[in-house]
Structure 1
Amino acid sequence: MRAIFILAAIFLFKTNLPEPKAASTTIPLCHTPANAMAELAASPNFRMLHETPRAFRYQGAGETVSFPAPDGKTASGFLLKSPKKSDKWLFVYQEWWGLNDYIKQEAAKLHKDLGDVNVLALDMYDGKVGTTREEAAKLMQGASAERLAAITKGGIQYAGPNAKIASIGWCFGGMLSLQNAILGGRRVVGCVMYYGRPENDIEKLKSLDTDVLGIFGSQDQGIPPATVSKFEEDMKAAGKKVTIKMYDAVHAFANPSNPKYDANAAADAYQLSLAYLKKKFG
């Protein structure tokens, strides 16, 4: 009899329990990096790969231009026009420091050596420039992928529907140069990327209408050789051509403002890039 009472009590206890809640099927939102290199900027080790730039002021030709971007905001860049009317355009993408005078100087050098090509150094930080590691890291972390894409698309629209566009960039700009090639479609004829983080989405790489020239350093601890090898594999999987030139050098070896600047490697890389771009522009 006692056993019957115990069983009845257990039954009543169970029936009065609240119904268990169904497991949530909502996927929690995660905060993705603002851009593919923002995560690197948060790393103290990556920051230490960048020496504080030496003081320099560019005093040559060129002008600041503004143009609408598809996000409804205005974008800008530093433009050196072709001596004669031309639909050839080279987009120059800054390092993580921003569109500083060193980038303007490099744009002017390319403008002189390429001849009848419009050279536009896009301002990817909307007027901001970092002069210390901490400032540059914050700027790169704060650059949203959407705004970066909008500035690039605005530049492509500014160049015009008949433009033949190639791009070149270093570090942060190396990544952006490759993104330019992905976003620009058939108007893009060439892409040079110096030690920037490669795109690892093979479907995006499949959309490329150009080959890529990648320039890297074997001693680069930010974009190490293993990352470069993976990029080669991904490009092969996407059915696209990439030419890799690996120098025995550190990250940012081609930046003259870097105390670890490698003049010989930088000169060789520049000539390689110049020959590639001249061939692409015809």
Structure 2
Amino acid sequence: MTPLQRYIAEEIATDHVDGLLSRREAMRRLALLGVGAAAATALIAACGQNRRGADAQTSSSAPAQSAPGTASSPAPGMDTALPTTPISWPGPRGELQGAWAEPTAARGGILVIHENKGLNDWVRSVAGRLAGVGYASLAIDLLSDRGGTATFADPAEATAALGNLAPETMVADLTSGITEVQRRAPGLKTAAVGFCMGGGLIWRLLATGAPELAAAFPFYGPTPENPDFSGSKDVAVLGFYGELDQRVNATKAAAQAALERAGLVHELVTEPGANHAFFNDTGERYDPAAAADAWRRMLDWLTIHVG
């Protein structure tokens, strides 16, 4: 498996271990990703063992955390969110699709990079929320060359299709997305935010070299191996992690070291008691307190470094 495929496979296995997916559904999704039955069984067992070890460590060193809530905890920024409009533009391999939201008087622009579920309503809501506080926002669809995320009736198939894309291909599409944001919001500074897989792609953008960005916000995204961010010296990076997200947190030190070597302005925040995907208010791991804190910090960072 490629590093991206393995990351997605581990996420599926972890979702099963955490009780979010049945074993049958986890095995089905792993098969769509190209993971055979024997390898899938071994992966689930390994993730289960890792989780038991993490739970034992947490219980011996910290008080138990209360479960995050969803229904009575609206996502931050929803009260001022703006609607998004479908758009398309010429990309490096053909037409790219996305959802665009623009305030009356934009303070800056921002590219929004989805999780491994593709461009769905939740990602559109993030673009709308950012537009609602003054930032022209483009949520890109990295499945554009497959007709777009909406063409997949089965979300698991969309995830598998993303897993089969080369990271270099996705980075090229994201670079095109940044250019499109700048074209639609001329003269303004630009940022990028990504979640889960999208957070990992933020790190890859920085490693490729993203001098056109003023700020970047990777949310619980895995750091690629041996990253070099020296080509992104002018980017101010604010990264977020969930305290309970052991899998992604294992790559945090590599990100910290690479940021320091490159001399980038940066801060890496670990939200206490939060898990992976804590910002997604449509998911089971949504943590209202962590999401609100991350939203406040991100807006402060945007004000300072973007406008």
TM-score normalised over the length of structure 1 = 0.75
SS of 1:120's equivalent in the other structure is: strand
Work out whether 1:45 is the aligned partner of 2:69: no
Q: 1:50 to 1:236 in 2, by over 3 A?
A: farther
In structure 1, the residue matched to 2:251 is 227
Mean CA deviation greater in 232-241 or 60-69? 232-241
How far apart are 1:163 and its partner, in Å? 4.9
Q: 1:280 to 1:241 in 2, by over 3 A?
A: closer
Q: 1:235-274 counterparts in 2 under 5 A?
A: 235-247=259-271, 248-274=273-299
TM-score normalised over the length of structure 2 = 0.69
Structure 1 Cα separation of the partners of residues 107 and 290 of structure 2: 31
2:196–2:220: 8 Å Cα contact kept in structure 1? yes
1:202–1:238: 8 Å Cα contact kept in structure 2? no
Structure 2 Cα separation of the partners of residues 280 and 134 of structure 1: 37
Q: Which amino acid aligns with 2:288?
A: A
Q: Which amino acid aligns with 1:74?
A: E
Q: Which amino acid aligns with 1:231?
A: A
Alignment deviations for residues 50-102 of structure 1 (CA, whole Å, 9 cap, x no partner):
947x9xxx99622111111123x111110012313x58310011111111001
Structure 2 Cα separation of the partners of residues 164 and 139 of structure 1: 32
Structure 2 Cα separation of the partners of residues 188 and 271 of structure 1: 20
Q: 1:81 to 1:167 in 2, by over 3 A?
A: same
How far apart are 1:138 and its partner, in Å? 0.8
Percent identical pairs in the alignment equals: 26
Alignment deviations for residues 119-140 of structure 1 (CA, whole Å, 9 cap, x no partner):
1011112212578774354133
Q: Which amino acid aligns with 2:223?
A: P
2:161 equivalent among 135, 139, 142: 139
Q: Which amino acid aligns with 1:280?
A: H
Greater relative contact order (Cα < 8 A, sep 6+): 1
How far apart are 1:148 and its partner, in Å? 0.7
Structure 1 stretches of 5 or more lacking a match?
1-31
Mean CA deviation greater in 163-172 or 151-160? 151-160
Structure 1 Cα separation of the partners of residues 261 and 8 of structure 2: 29
Structure 2 Cα separation of the partners of residues 236 and 179 of structure 1: 16
Work out whether 1:169 is the aligned partner of 2:200: no
Structure 2 Cα separation of the partners of residues 176 and 269 of structure 1: 19
Q: 1:145 to 1:194 in 2, by over 3 A?
A: same
1:195–1:252: 8 Å Cα contact kept in structure 2? yes
Structure 1 Cα separation of the partners of residues 230 and 99 of structure 2: 31
Alignment deviations for residues 104-131 of structure 1 (CA, whole Å, 9 cap, x no partner):
1111111101x2x311011112212578
Q: 1:165 to 1:254 in 2, by over 3 A?
A: same
Structure 2 Cα separation of the partners of residues 63 and 269 of structure 1: 26
In structure 2, the residue matched to 1:121 is 139
How far apart are 1:37 and its partner, in Å? 2.6
Structure 2 Cα separation of the partners of residues 236 and 256 of structure 1: 32
Q: Which amino acid aligns with 1:91?
A: L
Count of matched residue pairs: 239
SS of 1:97's equivalent in the other structure is: coil
Q: 1:186 to 1:260 in 2, by over 3 A?
A: closer
